[in-house]
Structure 1
């Protein structure tokens, strides 16, 4: 049976770097840090590789994110894997990487959803199981 955790998060740093530019796209790397409130209480570091299209819009990205803190009162850490195939209506997939849970979060699996409001704020829903 799965359990849900929800809340908000803030981006506390965003450090982009252009890696390569061509006539139709730019490749980049970004390091992001976040602070979570709600069912997840803690911090994370994201390492993302991205591609922007010719107009500068994000076209696709992949990332790994290490969360450390508490999940509904259980302490530990785990890694999320992000995969966004494009900005043209494709669904972003974010999953807990199997085998990455530590301490009270050992055996965690699940899916993570990011919700961005019109005002730019972020919330999340994590649906998970602990094995």
Structure 2
């Protein structure tokens, strides 16, 4: 049976770097840090590779994110894998990478959803199970 953790997070740093500005697209790398409140309480570091289309709009990204802190009172860490195949209606998928849980979070699997409000704030839902 799965459990849902909910809360909010703040982006505390955003460090972009352009890697390649070739014809039709720009490739970049971004390092992001976040602070979580709610069911998840802690910090994360995101390492993202991105593609912007010729107009400069985000077209796709992949990322890995290491969360460290507490999940519903259980201490440890785990890694999330992000996959956003495009900006033309494709679905963003974020999942817990199996085998990356540590300490009390060993054996965690699940799916993560980011909700962005009109005011720019972010909340999340993490549906998970612990083996």
| TM-score bin (small chain) | over 0.9
CA–CA separation in structure 1 for the residues paired with 2:89 and 2:6: 24
Per the alignment, residue 72 of structure 1 pairs with: 72
Per the alignment, residue 116 of structure 1 pairs with: 116
CA–CA separation in structure 2 for the residues paired with 1:116 and 1:57: 17
Ranges of 4+ aligned residues in structure 1 off by more than 4 Å: none
Which runs of 5 or more structure 1 residues have no equivalent in the other structure? Answer: none
Could you list the per-position Cα deviations for residues 31-54 of structure 1 after superposition, in whole angstroms to 9, with x for gaps in the alignment? 000000000000000000000001
Per the alignment, residue 43 of structure 2 pairs with: 43
CA–CA separation in structure 1 for the residues paired with 2:56 and 2:73: 41
- What's the C-alpha RMSD, in Å, of the aligned pairs? 0.3
Shift of 1:85: 0.1
Residue aligned with 2:104, SS: helix
| Aligned length in residues | 131
CA–CA separation in structure 1 for the residues paired with 2:48 and 2:19: 12
- Structure-2-length-normalised TM-score: 0.99
- Structure-1-length-normalised TM-score: 0.99
